[in-house]
Amino acid sequence: MQSLWNDSDAAQFTDALGLRVYTSRLLGKNPELVLHGGGNTSVKVDEKDFFGDAVSICYVKGSGWDLATIEREGFAPVRMSALLKMAELPTMTDSDMVLQQRAAMTNPNAPAASIEAILHAILPFKFVDHSHANAISALTCSQDGEKRVADCFGKRVLVLPYVMPGFVLAKQVHEVLKTLDLRAEGIEGIVLMKHGLFTFADDAKSSYEKHIELVTVAEGFLANQVNAVNNVATTGQVDLLALAKLRRAVSQKRGHAQVARLLNAPDQVAYSTIGDAAVRGPLTPDHSIRTKRIPAVIGEDIDAGVQQYADDYAAYFKRNATTETMLDPAPRFALWKGNGIVCFGDTVKDANIVADIATHTANTVIVGERTGGWAPLSEQDIFAIEYWELEQAKLRKGPARKVHQGKVALVTGCAAGIGFAIAESLAEQGAQVVGLDIDKDIPEIMKKIGGIGIVVNLTEDQPVQDAIDFTVREFGGIDIVVSNAGIFPKNDYLDVMAQPDWDRTIMINLTSHQKLMNKVVPFVKQGLDASIIFVGSRNFKAPGPGASAYSCSKAALTQLCRVAALELAPNKVRVNIVHPDAVFDTKLWTPEALAKSAARYGMTVEEYKTKNLMKVEIKSKDIGNMVAAMASPLFAKVTGAQIPVDGGNDRVI
């Protein structure tokens, strides 16, 4: 492991807190040291309070901040005097500790201090760095961990047995420090068994680089002990329908939709078959609130595998619970034998966090198993962390769930106008959107809403299949399909219409939708609160002269919707169609075209835009919001419906 310290970069930070920010980021950007909010750092300074009185402060990482991106305001300023008094108490509850740390802060608007704030305060050094380094976990999570640490570091580090983080850990260290002078003994760090590493110094560079040095020593020690056994596996053809089924089963146990990320590089496929070592416990206890204690192991019978995990989790809870209420029994990641690792989350971000943790766990477990036998914390200790009120509070701080959170939506024809508005509304309500369009700019267009755009000619079979397969492989399934793609050809009467114009309109406005259904329906049957929505037109009920191709294609599309509703109802997949009319904020309606059409009716442009019964303008976003609603639980018991969004049309009514 290499030090990332750069003198010129460090020179931009002129005070102790600034240097604390700088080296914290160096630690945080290395995933071998810190993952997603893990680790904590601190610096002790003397400064003046509001009244000009001298006060000693411990600036410690604030809860909810990530070391990789932390700013000055991410550190909680806590009075040293209060922290040192807390260390002298014989006992202290978690809630009292959090309350007193908050009361001792000189800035009440700062984030809550780390649960390790007391420990940071009692270490007699200006800078303190703490991580959950992979190499330290591989070293300490073994049958003879303390001996291996001694063999690796000798007397360079103080080794302490695992105890509960927070006050109990701080008290343990405080008692040791009463009889041990870290400076006099030349102690360079503290290794907490099955937990992590602390280093310290009176300057930022030394504390950080000592951390890097000790982890590098551990990496070298492990590398010399790794045996020659090598798990080799190849990435095979994944059964995507089975992946969708796995996502559905886990989501049902979780109680709401989950995004699923498949990791199936050769080493990840190999890890899926490693056996018992993978289900002994997590890399570090902190990870359990994101990943639970262990992953599910899934074989050929997916439903049975998920049910077995749920049953085992309930038994684990019963063995260890006192007054706690059981969390959902769904796995956060699964070892899908021969296929890889599947990671679940409420959002893509959440699933990616689990994926990062699972990947580092896999790598570390393999090293630990080969160099002494992987032996993480007991299930009782992990349970204490998983159900610890302070850790559960972190999870509860998240925003409220959105309507479509965890769902995956496939939207066609969404580069502009109604299609884009639909994609945007679904994304705003939490769905992960994949947009298909022939427009070459669709990838960039979908980025605007956090989605993925794929250039696809929807009349071609294989590109459509590839796009569907990509969506399932990337996110685990498809729950919402909005079949919107279409064209409005030039208006010609039947006796002068060119045959290619008719053929092209029918192909795009009807046949491409049928092709999409043929390929996507098997996956939608495995969807969650699954919904298919077609975008039709007022023309199907109220056609006009010279629009035969368009009107007939939309009428046939409506019939396709009705048939699909009949066919998919037994699978609890609802199929509905929305019929917009006079939506003028699209590329089709230029100012010139609007003026021309308005003049034909003897109206102003504003009158023409509101020529419906309610005298209201219909905008693309109105259609987007309606479609998002139709895909939501509001329409949970509605299928085969035809919903006009037109402000009222006398010819339709």
Could you report the per-residue pLDDT of 382-416, keeping only the tens digit for each? Answer: 999 999 887 777 666 667 899 999 999 999 999 99
Domain boundaries, the chain: 7-225, 240-396, 408-583+618-645, 585-617
d(CA 625, CA 615): 20
Q: What angle do CA 515, 517, 522 make, to 5 degrees?
A: 125
pLDDT category at 227 given cuts 50, 70, 90 is low
Other C-beta atoms closer than 10 Å to the C-beta of 397 total 9
d(CA 615, CA 381): 66
Taking residues 273-282, report their average pLDDT: 91
Catalytic pick among 22, 59, 550, 608: 550
Asked whether residue 311 carries a pLDDT value surpassing 90, the answer given is yes
For residue 17, give both structure tokens. Answer: 């807190």
* Residues 39-65 pLDDT 10s: 999 999 999 988 999 999 999 999 889
Domain 7-225 bears CATH identifier 3.10.105.10: no
- Fill in the DSSP letter of residue 479: -
Taking residues 549-559, report their average pLDDT: 96
d(CA 504, CA 501): 5
Which pLDDT does position 229 carry in this prediction? 40
Q: Which fold does the domain 408-583+618-645 belong to in CATH?
A: Rossmann fold (3.40.50)
Task: Give, in order, the Cα–Cα distances in Å from 599 to each of 25, 489, 544, 593, 610.
Answer: 64, 21, 17, 10, 14
* Residues 242-255 pLDDT 10s: 999 999 999 999 99
Which pLDDT does position 392 carry in this prediction? 72
- What is the residue whose two structure tokens read 């010129």? 8
Which pLDDT does position 370 carry in this prediction? 87
Q: Do the domains 240-396 and 7-225 match in fold? A: yes
**CATH architecture for segment(s) 240-396:** 3-Layer(aba) Sandwich (3.40)
Task: Give, in order, the Cα–Cα distances in Å from 167 to each of 192, 348, 383.
Answer: 15, 35, 18
pLDDT category at 228 given cuts 50, 70, 90 is very low
Asked whether residue 226 carries a pLDDT value surpassing 80, the answer given is no
d(CA 358, CA 287): 9
Asked whether residue 316 carries a pLDDT value surpassing 80, the answer given is yes
Which pLDDT does position 395 carry in this prediction? 64
Look at 301-305, 431-435, 581-585 and tell me which has the smallest mean pLDDT.
581-585
493 annotated active-site: no
Q: Tell me, letter by letter, the H, E, C secondary structure of 113-159.
A: ECCCHHHHHHCCCCEEEEECCHHHHHHHCECCHHHHHHHHHCCCEEE
Helices 461-475 and 240-254 pack at an angle, to 10 degrees, of: 40
Which pLDDT does position 286 carry in this prediction? 87
Give the chain's mean pLDDT.
94
For residue 422, give both structure tokens. Answer: 């639909």
Taking residues 358-374, report their average pLDDT: 91
pLDDT category at 573 given cuts 50, 70, 90 is very high
Asked whether residue 272 carries a pLDDT value surpassing 70, the answer given is yes
pLDDT category at 234 given cuts 50, 70, 90 is low
Which pLDDT does position 400 carry in this prediction? 86
Residue 464 contacts by C-beta under 8 Å, 6 or more apart in sequence?
A: 436, 456, 458, 515, 516, 519
d(CA 634, CA 532): 14
Q: b/e for 204-228, b at 16 or more Cβ within 10 A?
A: bbbbbbbbbbbbebbbebbeebeee
